[in-house]
Structure 1
Amino acid sequence: MKSWMRGALGAAPLLALSMPAFAQDPKVDTGDTAWMLISTAIVLMMTIPGLALFYAGMVRKKNVLSTLAQSFAITALVSVLWVVIGYSLAFGEGGAYIGDVSKLLLGGIAENWDKPFSLGSGPDAVAFTIPESVFVAFQGTFAVITAALITGALADRIKFSALMVFVALWTLLVYSPVAHWVWHPNGWIFGLGALDFAGGTVVHINAGVAGLVGALILGKRVGYGTENLSPYNLAFAVIGAALLWVGWFGFNAGSAGGASGRAGMAFLVTNTAAAAAALSWMVAEWAIKGKPSVLGVISGAVAGLVAITPAAGFVLPGASILLGIVAGLAGFWGATALKHWLGYDDSLDAFGVHGVCGILGALLTGVLAYGPLSATEAAPAGVSGSMGQLLIQFQAVAAVFVFTAVATAILLKVVDVIIGLRVSEEEEREGLDVTQHGERLG
C-alpha cells in the first residue's frame, strides 16, 4: 500500500476501516451489511421526506407543492442516473480526476452479487465486507441529497424543467468527479491525505457553493427585501429537520462501512454536535434579537450536523461539542449577516448553512482529528490534528470550491441559453405550484 494511502485511509465513507484480507471463499459480513442497508434507507429518508419538508416549510404557501416536487423528482432522477453512469464516473478506476465507464449500468456487479468487493485494484485496493450493490445504493443516496440541497438557494423562482436538466448535468459533471477525487483510492484529493469522513467537501461544500452560484445567477426573488416572504408552515420545517437529524446517523455512522466502534463514535459525536449547535444558534439569536425562534433552533441543529460530517469518524465527543458550538454561531452568521452584507438571495440558506458550516467542519477536522480514531492496520498512528493536516484540508476545500463554482456557473448558463432558468415575474407572483405543476395546496 502506498505511503500516501496509509496516511489517507479513512478519508472516504466506507474507506474508514482497514479490512483484513479475504479468504479464498470470501463471505459478506451480515452484521455490517444489515447496518449499511439500514443506513442507506435512513439517508434516503433525509431527502424524502426530510429535506422536502424542511424546505417546503420555509417557502410561501404558493410554492409548497413545487418545493416538495423538486426533492421528490430529484430523488427519482439522480437514482436512475447513478445506476446508469454516475456511479461509474465516481467509483470506476479511472485516474486522479474522474472514474470511467467500466461500471456503466453496473456492469460486473451481477456476477458477484453475494460477495464482498474491493474498491480499486492491485496493492492499493480497499476491501469491504458488504456486497457492492449495497455500496452503490448507499453512495447513491449521497448523490441524491447533494443535488436536492442546491434547491434551497433557488427556491421560489427556478423553472422545474430547467432544474431537472441542470441537476442531471451537475450530478454527472460536478458531483461524480468530486466524489472520485475525495473518495476513490485513485482520486487526487484522497492522495493528498485529506480527511472527509462522510461528505464535508463532496456533499456540503459542493452543494453550498453550487447554491450560491445559482442564487447569484438567478437573481433575487420578486419582492425580496420589500415584501413579506415569511415561511408558510414552520411545523413542516420542524418535522423535516427532525427527520434530517435522525437520518444523519445513517449518513455519518453509516460511513464507517459497518457495525463497528468507529460507527458508534460517529453516531455519538453526530448527535452531540447537532445538539450543541442548536443551543449555540438559539442563544446567539436570543441575545441579538431578543427571542429564540423555532426556525433558528432547527437551523442550528442542521448547521451542527453539517459541520460534524467530515469529522465524524475522527473526533472525540469533547471536540464535537466545540465544533457544534462554533458551527451554530457560524451558521447564524452565514444565514443572517453574510448574505445581507454580500447582497445575494440564498432563499433557504443553502450556502449560509451547508457551504459555511461545511467549510468550517472540513477545516476543523484537520485541527481536531484524534490519531487513534483515524488509525488503521496499515497506519497505526493515524492522523492527528496539526498545522500540516489543516493545510491539506484547506487545499481540498479550495479545490472543490473553485471547481464547483466555475463548473456550476457554466452549466447554469448553458441551461439558461437552451431553456431559460427563471420563471417570469408574473409566474413567480402567481406561484410555482400553479405555473409549473397546475396544482394548488388548498
Structure 2
Amino acid sequence: MEYLSELELLPTTQSSSTLLDNLVQTTPSEMQQLKDNMDNFFLVMMGCIILFMQAGFAFLEAGSVRSKNVTNILTKNFSEIVFGVPAYFAFGYAFTFGGGGGNSFIGLEYFCLIGLPPKQYSHAFFQATFAATCTTIVSGAIAERSNYNGYIIFCVFVTGVIYPIQAHWGWNANGWLAQTEFHDFAGSGVVHLAGGSIALVATYILGPRLGRFNHGSQKAENPYSGHSMPLISLGVFIILFGFMAFNGGSQGSISNAEDGDIVAHAVLSTLIACCVGGGVVLFIVKLTPGGSWSLNKMMNGSLIGMVSICSGADGFHPLIVCIVSGIAGCAYFVTSKLMIRMQVDDPVDAVAVHFAGGLVGMIASPIFMNNGVLFTGGSSRSLEMLLWNCIAVLVIIAWNMSSAIVFFKALKMVNLFRATQKEEIQGLDILKHNEPAYPMEAYMNEMLSTEDETVSYVINLPKPENGPSLRSDSLFTIKRRISIKSENLPNRVV
C-alpha cells in the first residue's frame, strides 16, 4: 500500500490538467465533430483492410491456376480495382446511396461524387471495397479461359451497375428491402450470394476448360490442380484477416454507445466461423471413401464459414456461430460435388463458397440470431424477418443471374467472353500479356552463370507465331547445350 500513498502525493501534470479542462469545456458541436472524425477514421481503416483482401483473392486464385496463367489472373484481380472502382465512384455509389430523384429501386444522386459532403468520403471509400469484393468472386470461377478484353467491360458493368442497384434495395434507407424486416448485416446476400450467382452463370455460359471433363465427372475431381499450394494458403490467410474488417466494419461507426460491442461481436463470430467451417469440411473430406487431410478443402471450409455468418454477425451467439458455420461447411461439400457432377468448371470453388455460403447465411440469420425465430418463440417480427430474407434471396439470385445472362451472352456474341483455343492451350501469360509469371529466361540465366561442364537440355516452349508446326500438345521442342558448374553431374533431359 505504500506505493499508493506515494502516487496520491504526486502533483497533477500540466498536460493532464489541460486535457481534463478541454474535455469539460468541449461544446456539443465540438463533441459531434470528434465523433464524426472517429467514425471517419474507423471506416477508412476498415476499408484499407478490406482492400487488402484483394491481395488475398489474388494469391488464392494465382495458386489455384496453372503456372502459364498466373500473370493473367493477377492482371484481372488488379483490373477490378483499376476499372471497377472508378466505375463505382462514377455512377455505382449514386445508384446505391444516392437520393435526389431516386426511389426505392435506384438512387440518382452523387454521380462522380458531385455534391457528396466531404464527411461521407470515408463511406464512399468503404463501400467501394465491398463492390470490388463482389466482383472478384467471379474472376476465380472463370480463370484460365476468359477473354481479358471482355473482363475489363465486366469489371465496369458489375461494379458500377449490377451490384449497386441491388445493394440500394437492402442497404439504402430508401431501398424497398431496407424498409422491411430484411436483415443482412455484412453482405451474405448483397455481396456473396450476388457474386456467387454471377459466377454460376458465368461458368455455365463460358464452359469448362479444355479437357476438364474428358474422363468423366467422377474421375475429373482435380485434373488441373493449382500450381502453388503456398500461394493459396497465403491468400486465404490474408482473406481471413480482411474478413475481420469486412464483418466488423459493417457496423459503419464506432462512436456510439454500443458500436464497440457490436464490432467485437462480429469479429469474434468471424473467427469462430473460420475455425468451425474449416474443421467440418476437413473431417468430411477425410471420412469420405478415398479421402485425405485436404488443406485446400479445409481452407475453402473456413471461407464459407465466414461467408455464412456475414448476415447475422451482429446477433449470433458464439455457440450458434458453430452451428451455422458447420451447416455451411456441409453445404460447401455438397455444392462442390454437385458442380463437378453437372460438369461446371470452377477452378477455385467460388460458387460453392460464396453462393452456398451466402444462401445459408441469409436463411440462418432470421432463425438463429438473438432476436430470431429460435430465441423469440416465433415472434411476428422474427417471422417477418425470415419471410423478407427468403424473398431477398429469390430477388438477389434473380436479379444477378438475369443480368449476368444478358451481359455474358452479349460478350459471347461479339467474341469477347472466351479466350481462343490457342491462348488457352499455350497459356494466357505469354500470348496475352507477354509477361510470364515464371520466365524460363530467369531460370536459364541462373544456370548459365556456372561453368565447367556441358549438359544437354530439352525445353518445351510455346510455339512462336511463325515457328515450326505444332505437335499434338501444341508445344515444340528446342534443344540447347549450356554449361553449368558441377563436377560430376551427368547429362540429363528436363
Aligned to 2:295: 294
- The gaps in structure 1 that reach 5 residues or longer are 1-21, 114-130, 373-382
* Displacement after TM superposition at 1:329 (Å): 1.5
* Displacement after TM superposition at 1:385 (Å): 8.4
Aligned to 2:471: none
Aligned length: 389
Task: Give, in whole Å, the separation in 1 of the partners of 2:160 and 2:47.
Answer: 21
Aligned to 1:409: 405
Identity of aligned residues (%): 27
Aligned to 1:400: 396
Instruction: Kindly provide the amino acid, as one letter, of the partner of residue 222 in structure 1.
Output: L
Instruction: Kindly provide the amino acid, as one letter, of the partner of residue 361 in structure 1.
Output: G
1:160-199 correspondence runs (5 A) = 160-199=148-187
Which shifted more, 258-267 or 29-38?
29-38
* Displacement after TM superposition at 1:33 (Å): 2.9
* Displacement after TM superposition at 1:140 (Å): 0.3
**SS state of the match for residue 214, structure 2?**
coil
Task: Give, in whole Å, the separation in 1 of the partners of 2:302 and 2:28.
Answer: 44
* Displacement after TM superposition at 1:152 (Å): 1.6
Aligned to 1:303: 304
Aligned to 1:31: 38
Judge conservation of contact 2:58–2:77 (CA < 8 Å) in 1: yes
Task: Give, in whole Å, the separation in 2 of the partners of 1:134 and 1:91.
Answer: 13
Instruction: Kindly provide the amino acid, as one letter, of the partner of residue 240 in structure 1.
Output: G
Considering only CA atoms, is the larger Rg found in Structure 1 or Structure 2? 2
Which shifted more, 353-362 or 33-42?
33-42
CA-atom RMSD, angstroms? 1.9
Q: 1:438 aligns with which of 426, 434, 441?
A: 434
Which shifted more, 396-405 or 428-437?
428-437
1:150-229 correspondence runs (5 A) = 150-226=138-214, 228-229=223-224
1:16-95 correspondence runs (5 A) = 26-29=32-35, 30-47=37-54, 49-93=55-99, 94-95=102-103
1:224-373 correspondence runs (5 A) = 224-226=212-214, 228-259=223-254, 260-288=260-288, 289-335=290-336, 337-371=337-371
Instruction: Kindly provide the amino acid, as one letter, of the partner of residue 158 in structure 2.
Output: W
Aligned to 2:104: 96
Q: CA, structure 1 residues 56+66, in 2 after alignment: closer, same or farther (shift >3 Å)?
A: same
Q: CA, structure 1 residues 420+33, in 2 after alignment: closer, same or farther (shift >3 Å)?
A: closer
TM-score (norm 1): 0.84
Task: Give, in whole Å, the separation in 2 of the partners of 1:414 and 1:323.
Answer: 38
> Which string of whole-angstrom CA distances, capped at 9 and with x for unpartnered residues, describes residues 349-378 of structure 1?
111110011101111011011139xxxxxx
- The gaps in structure 2 that reach 5 residues or longer are 1-26, 216-222, 255-259, 373-378, 439-494
* Displacement after TM superposition at 1:35 (Å): 2.4
Task: Give, in whole Å, the separation in 2 of the partners of 1:387 and 1:342.
Answer: 35
**SS state of the match for residue 155, structure 1?**
coil
**SS state of the match for residue 177, structure 2?**
helix
Instruction: Kindly provide the amino acid, as one letter, of the partner of residue 157 in structure 1.
Output: R
Judge conservation of contact 1:170–1:411 (CA < 8 Å) in 2: no
Task: Give, in whole Å, the separation in 1 of the partners of 2:114 and 2:296.
Answer: 45
Task: Give, in whole Å, the separation in 1 of the partners of 2:238 and 2:110.
Answer: 33
Instruction: Kindly provide the amino acid, as one letter, of the partner of residue 402 in structure 1.
Output: A
Q: CA, structure 1 residues 341+419, in 2 after alignment: closer, same or farther (shift >3 Å)?
A: closer
Task: Give, in whole Å, the separation in 1 of the partners of 2:112 and 2:214.
Answer: 50
* Displacement after TM superposition at 1:211 (Å): 0.4
**SS state of the match for residue 84, structure 1?**
helix
* Displacement after TM superposition at 1:343 (Å): 2.5
TM-score (norm 2): 0.76
Judge conservation of contact 1:86–1:176 (CA < 8 Å) in 2: yes
Question: Could you say which structure has the greater relative contact order, defined with CA pairs below 8 angstroms and 6 or more residues apart?
Answer: 1
Task: Give, in whole Å, the separation in 2 of the partners of 1:211 and 1:104.
Answer: 28
